[in-house]
Chain A
Amino acid sequence: MQGRPRSRSSLRATLLVLCAAAASAADSPQLTAGVFDPPRMAPDFALRGSDGGELVLSRFRGKVVVLGFGFTTCPDVCPTTLATLASAHKKLGERGGEVQVVYVTVDPERDDPERLRNYLKSFDASFVGGTGSANVLEAVRNDYGIAAQRIVRGDSYGFSHSSYTYLIDRAGRLRALMPYGSSADAYVHDLLILLAP
């Protein structure tokens, strides 16, 4: 006789938990970005940072990281993306301090730490760039599925490169991919979701 009420109450409790979980799932906001399921850990890397130190991705654990790839003489894609990110960072206000933009160059010949620093600070002084040897940068790109093809233009050259950015959560997991052309508001929307406890 004592077993039945317990079983009923535990059934009720289970149902309540399930309902709460379902309601929570239904209410949980959706990212506008492309979502990886299940998320994997973002591959770590150690590069020469534009801040003069070593740029180790895992040192940003606890922050949400926006990771992009490009080069400082990029005529269109990179300036557009970085201006969008600067706008999103500004819109986040104080919460912007919990977000770190990391930009890894695909052009190690020209983009040394100083050049990266000067370039990035024209968008937002908090943005950090990373460079390294061609081999090291290629390994990083391979880890993230980033393509970069050198294109010769007269006596100069440029790159055709993947234009999306990755969103990495506080725990260092690769959560989402933001397509090129996403608005600052879309970034703010998704970053706030990833910043939520």
Chain B
Amino acid sequence: MRRAAASLAAAALAACGWLAFAPIESGSRDEIFAIPKGTWARRMSGDPVEILPSEIRLTVGVRDVLVLENHDDVPQIFGPTLMMPGQTFRLPFAVASSYVFTCTAHASGQLQVIVEPFPATPWARLSWRIREAI
């Protein structure tokens, strides 16, 4: 029983160590939000389709490019931009800060993009990984 508890503690410690010290790598730095085809038609029929959350969190050096894609057949006010059909908008963020954009798609009229600094310390990596997992 005691050996099992010790093994469990060792495994938890090893996991925490990995979470804190393993370098953070990201396959793509894009955070993609897309308006699917037919969204306008759904809205016209009374379906309150939400595409963008009112708050988006990004991390410098990991996932720091906001990508908006309009796959619908009509222009859309999408986040801070007017997007034509088939158009993509890529907005890279290099500085950690909180950015507020006017966004008529939200009841608050605002879209907030919170860009966090690169998790450079073990504690920051641990916190970042836990937050990402939740």
Residues of A within 8 A of B (CB): 30, 32-38, 40, 143-145, 147, 149, 160-164, 177, 179-181
| Interchain CA distance A145-B91 in the complex, whole Å | 16
Residues of B within 8 A of A (CB): 66, 77, 80-84, 86-92, 94, 97, 99, 101-102, 104, 109
- Nearest Cβ on chain B to A186's Cβ, whole angstroms: 9
- Report whether A147 and B102 are in contact in the complex, using a CB–CB cutoff of 8 Å: yes
- Report whether B77 and A177 are in contact in the complex, using a CB–CB cutoff of 8 Å: no
- Nearest Cβ on chain A to B77's Cβ, whole angstroms: 5
**Cβ-Cβ contact count across A and B, 8 Å cutoff:** 56
- Report whether A163 and B102 are in contact in the complex, using a CB–CB cutoff of 8 Å: yes
- Report whether B80 and A160 are in contact in the complex, using a CB–CB cutoff of 8 Å: no
- Starting from the known contacts A38-B86, A163-B102, 7 additional A-B residue pairs (CB-CB under 8 Å) come to A34-B89, A34-B91, A35-B89, A35-B91, A149-B109, A160-B109, A180-B99
Residues of B within 8 A of A33 (CB): 91
Residues of B within 8 A of A181 (CB): 97, 99
- Nearest Cβ on chain A to B82's Cβ, whole angstroms: 3
Known: A147-B102, A179-B99. A37 touches B88 (CB 8 A): yes
Contact of B81 among A38, A145, A180 (CB under 8 A): A145
